A and B are shown apart, each in its own frame.
Chain A
């Protein structure tokens, strides 16, 4: 007997993501999901963001990695609450993993929750975690052609960070072409060029983020 289902495969993930989002809204927490390749500088960007915003907002971090606690330990060393999720091989985070991680945090004591997704330009794209914004980081050494190769992640991101910007000359990175293709793929996404480990150019990004945090607090019921 044939039974029609006609429903989204990720419906369960999406429903749980929506529960996460409602929970964040109740506590007035803004949640950003940072996605990038391995080595693009996700953790460095988070540390630079913490340095810029920690006096204004209470920040917590959820670290997603296949294995190890290396990243969470780096964040915790700065006195910021950090939860490590080990996906045990899975190439992206899913909403139930975020739910379990969030259970260990006191959301009422947090203004900004940063999720560092597993290093990957493909798989995190389709999985809603309940975040308010997905933001991707591309680092200069990866090359300016990446938007052609991985259009999906550029399209779902509300902002694009171009990290390791101080190395543009060394890697023959065509920034004008990069910006033009990103704009074509996603006309509304700002591109923030910065060098996270040097703290250069971080302010435009953190001010964009701060405006979003303020907006989330303003609508808290």
Chain B
């Protein structure tokens, strides 16, 4: 359940930003999350519904954009998308790869009134 801690981070930053804008309500929060963070969207949505209670974000929508894992091969330079458990070059089979996407944990924007 690290989703609860991650959701707390989302909500804290969103409420701070909303307060700076003197918002009365948060309608939606947009986040980008890499699949390698092992965040389950269902668990994140559940945590969100619990943590937003009695805040100006209660009833708001959490829009999650999941980013697939992508690496560049250190041996043949191929760039490839891979699953969570197989960071192995699709071209030459090497494991010497540098991850370029898939660990994102970012709040992109919020929609407020």
Contact = CB atoms under 8 A, between A and B. Distances in A.
B12 interface: yes
Contacts of A4: 108-109
A8 B103 CA distance: 11
A7 B107 contact: yes
Interface in A1-42: 1-13
Contact of A13 (B5, B85, B113): B5
A123 B2 contact: yes
Contact of A126 (B31, B96, B103): B103
| Interface magnitude class on chain A | 20 to 34
A149 interface: yes
B110 interface: yes
A9 B105 CA distance: 5
What's the dominant secondary structure at chain A's contact region?
mixed
Interface string A148-164: 11111001000000000
A5 B108 contact: yes
B1 A91 contact: yes
Interface string B1-44: 11011100110111001100101000000010100111000000
Contacts of A149: 85
Interface string B77-113: 0000000011100000011100100010111111111
B109 A126 contact: no
Given A10-B6, A11-B13, A149-B85, A5 B107 contact: yes
A149 B109 CA distance: 33
Interface in A165-207: 181, 184-185, 187
A5 B29 CA distance: 10
B110 to A, nearest CB: 5
B5 A1 contact: no
A92 B2 contact: yes
A2 B106 contact: no
Given A126-B105, A148-B85, A181-B95, A9 B4 contact: no
Given A90-B5, A123-B2, A7 B106 contact: yes
A17 to B, nearest CB: 12
Contacts of B95: 181, 184-185
24 contacts: A1-B111, A2-B109, A2-B110, A3-B17, A5-B14, A6-B107, A6-B108, A6-B109, A8-B9, A9-B13, A9-B31, A9-B105, A9-B106, A10-B6, A10-B105, A13-B9, A90-B1, A90-B2, A91-B1, A127-B5, A151-B87, A152-B103, A181-B95, A184-B96
Interface of B: 1-2, 4-6, 9-10, 12-14, 17-18, 21, 23, 31, 33, 36-38, 85-87, 94-96, 99, 103, 105-113
